[in-house]
Chain A
Amino acid sequence: MRFERRAHRSTVLVVIAPVIAVAAALALAGVLIALAGSPVLTAYERILTGAFGSRLAATETLTRAVPLILTGLAAAVAFRARLWNIGAEGQLYLGAIAAAALSAELAGGLPSILQIPILLVAAALAGMALLLIPLWLRLRFSVDEVVTTLLLNFVAILFVSMLIDGVLKDPMAFGWPQSKPIDEDGMLPKLIPRSRLHAGLLLALALAVVVHFVQSRTVFGTRSRAAGLNATAAVFAGVPLGRTLVQVAMISGGLAGLAGAVEVMGVTSYVTTELSPGYGYSGIVVAMLANLHPIGVVLAAIFTAAMFVGADAMSRSMAIPTYIADVTVALSLLAMLVAIFFTQYRIAR
């Protein structure tokens, strides 16, 4: 079998590729559900109603989508510029602990209007700082950032674990390792009463629009795309490669740091090492499903969140492990890769 490159990439194909990928992933997940001896269609139905079937379910799905939009954007921005930031998970934790620490130790007592922005900025800075280390290693020592960002995830989470077991430990938590809580005025306001949905959703949506605008309309966006598509030609055209990558890293790391902040400030109010069920890694899937498009990231994040929330609900009523959601999300990434391939190539006779 041989493939030949399509001369023109049809827009229709690019738009329906993720739909086909998700359908393929769901079909394959169906095989695993059938393997568990459960009726496949019923399981799908329970996932769907579990994710969107009630007002509560829908708000829960959107709540889950908030950090995923942010980590998805973090991955999309970085990947566009060929910066392989696989460290969103660690950046998320550092962002979360920065917000919690600042609120508990310094900014607590400040009114919301001041405190919330301060905490968010601090979280973004923490995420940035963590990504600048591997970028520096790449620019200075030519170390591939994939492995270093991955390894730093473990370091960051251990660092957080150390803090919440030490200086930031909440004395009121009955000995559990968890951070002192965010000050009440540091919490994000709820969007819908009697749900967990918080204003972080608005922030995430606004950032998706901003990122889209920056990437498509600004000089910086054009340069970062150029750097990602062809670094040699970008350098020849005068794109300052190092500086552009630093800027990209700051945006990407900042977004991942914000993901941690909104989760603490919107949902949990304190940090534990179970804060994120892999939001950083799922963000990569989200970004790929969106074909690295910031607006697509929002939709992909909602799909991914729906899988997790729906599968949780489904596994409570059926004998199917909730890990089916992780499997489906991973499969949709692999299927999306294949789908992207077929938007660019076709099978030659």
Chain B
Amino acid sequence: MMDLLDVLFSAGLWAAVLRIATPLILGTLGELLCERAGILNLGIEGIMTFGAMIGWLAVYNGADLWTGMLVAALSGAAFGLLHSLLTVSFGLSQHVSGLGITLFASSLAYYLFRLLVPVVGIPPKILSFQPLNVPGLSDLPFIGPALFTQTAPTYVAMLLAVLMGWVIFRTPLGLAIRMTGETPHAAEAQGINPTAVRYGAVTVGSALMATGGAFLTLSAFDSFIPTMVQGRGWICIALVVFATWRPGRALIGALLFAFFDAFQIRLQTMLTGAIPYQLFLMMPYVLSIAALAATARRARVPQALMQPYRRGER
């Protein structure tokens, strides 16, 4: 029992929480933006995978780390445009289009990786983002190592959550996005172009997802391994529901989730042998399903989510 408390009060746990949460925050914000405009983006899993690969590849080929992030974001935006074309312009099934994008983006990532990176025994590495020691704060006992020794993208991700909350609830643009996700023909009647809003939201949202993927290869780890995204995209989709489409709650949800994950990993090492490790690995997925069951009914879903909008065709 003392061991458990030790774990809870170790700075390492809390540092890990923020690290694990970062890609989830970015992915969840991206998905949230898409869904607020009325588009479900199941491409997230593949877009994160592609972002992880292309960001890493750029850095591996000499680009600096932030350029790597930018390259990932641009690739995500490109997949977002493709998803928009299929679901907004053509009004096709958002489910199937998203899954198609996931299959396409991840297989393309693997293909390009195999093609452009020589096969060697140990996966090649890059020099990843280093912890940013916030002057003064990082020297504080416990709090310092727990909260203020993260890499720069983690801080950016948390700022983005606040910024996204501001944009959605405080700006005319956010109102236009919400209206488009609720009642696109009402948005159109107010002179807003729902097609443009949806393209924009899906493109920017997909770019965010890709940076979430790139965080994995540029900060959390330093190499690209196929299948490394491991369902994080699907978890983000669950987190959006859990957050009831609010960026602030998405941040809290991602941190909560990361806490359980980090705790689970430590528990796993403590209880080696006693319980099969697979049970621990199942936890994130089971937890996501439980969170969905607990919140789905109460959640106020954007009313036009998954409904194609065609002018003049109500």
Contact = CB atoms under 8 A, between A and B. Distances in A.
Is any CB of A less than 8 Å from a CB of B in the complex? yes
Interface in A139-157: 141-144, 146-148, 150-155
Nearest to A288: B96
Interface in A96-117: none
B110 A321 contact: yes
A327 B111 contact: yes
Contact of A327 (B82, B96, B107, B313): B107
Interface residues of A, number: 49
A326 B238 CA distance: 27
B293 A84 contact: no
Nearest to A160: B278
Interface in A232-285: 281, 284-285
Nearest to A278: B103
Interface in B63-94: 82, 86, 89-93
Contact of A154 (B86, B241, B282): B282
A154 B285 contact: yes
A73 interface: no
B299 to A, nearest CB: 9
A333 interface: yes
Judged by DSSP, the binding face of B is helix
A320 B292 CA distance: 42
Contact of B278 (A158, A337, A345): A158
B108 interface: yes
A323 to B, nearest CB: 4
B234 interface: yes
B278 A161 contact: yes
Interface residues of B, number: 46
Contacts of B311: 2
B279 interface: yes
B104 A327 contact: yes
B125 interface: no
B235 interface: yes
B4 interface: no
Interface string B86-127: 100111110111011101101110110011000000000000
A210 interface: no
A158 B79 CA distance: 30
Interface string A115-155: 00000000000000000000001000111101110111111
A169 to B, nearest CB: 11
Contacts of A327: 104, 107-108, 111
A86 B231 CA distance: 13
Interface of A: 1-3, 5, 32, 35-36, 84, 86, 137, 141-144, 146-148, 150-155, 158-159, 161-162, 165-166, 281, 284-285, 288, 320-321, 323-324, 326-327, 329-331, 333-334, 337-338, 340-341, 345
